[in-house]
Structure 1
Amino acid sequence: MANIKSKQKAILSNEKANARNSAIKSSVKTAIKKAKLAAQTNDPKAAEYSAKAHHEIDKAVSKGVLHQNNGARKASRLDAFIAKNK
């Protein structure tokens, strides 16, 4: 642990942000996996899962967890996967 008080506070705030960002990234990955699985199995809720995944990606981008281009790439690849597996 650092000796300087401002650095101690910075370490704590970085740990909080890291935990928050990890949770958001995890929810994005889970939503994408569910949408891909639904597309592969021709689940009637595939469109719903796809919309949920797009929402999670957009939310992560707006919070600054994912870069805008990264989010666009994830959404584009998801759409291409779903179109291929229809």
Structure 2
Amino acid sequence: MANSRSALKRVLVAERNRLRNKSYKSALRTLMKKYFTTLDKYKAEPSEELKKEVLDSMSAAYQKIDKAVKRGVLHRNNGARQKSRLAKQLNSVTQ
């Protein structure tokens, strides 16, 4: 247990930040999974509607990654790597 009021406060702040970071990362993983499943559907049956859906889910994932980097949940290079991974998958399907 913390010995001083400031140490106790730091414990509370760290816990609050941990929960916030956990929710961001969880939402990010969910969006990425949604993107990959949509991409698999598009790979099986290419169509304009599915392509739009893939691009929309990619955009949503990009937005969440950028916001997580801005908030300090992810490191800048980690965010760039995740976005690169998404784009690489799309390029392999469309070419």
TM-score by length of 1: 0.93
Q: Which has the larger radius of gyration?
A: 2
- Would you say the 8 A contact 1:36–1:82 is kept in 2? no
Deviation at 1:54, TM superposition (A): 0.5
Structure 2 CA distance for aligned equivalents of residues 83 and 38 of structure 1: 14
More helix as a share of residues? 2
Code of the residue aligned with 1:11 in structure 2: it is V
Q: Say what the alpha-carbon RMSD is for the aligned residues.
A: 1.2
> What residue number does 1:73 align with?
81
TM superposition score normalised by structure 2: 0.85
Aligned-pair identity (%)? 37
Q: Provide the residue aligned with 1:37 in structure 2.
A: 37
Gaps of 5+ in 2: 43-48
SS of 1:41 mapped into structure 2 = helix
Gaps of 5+ in 1: none
4+ long deviations beyond 6 Å: none
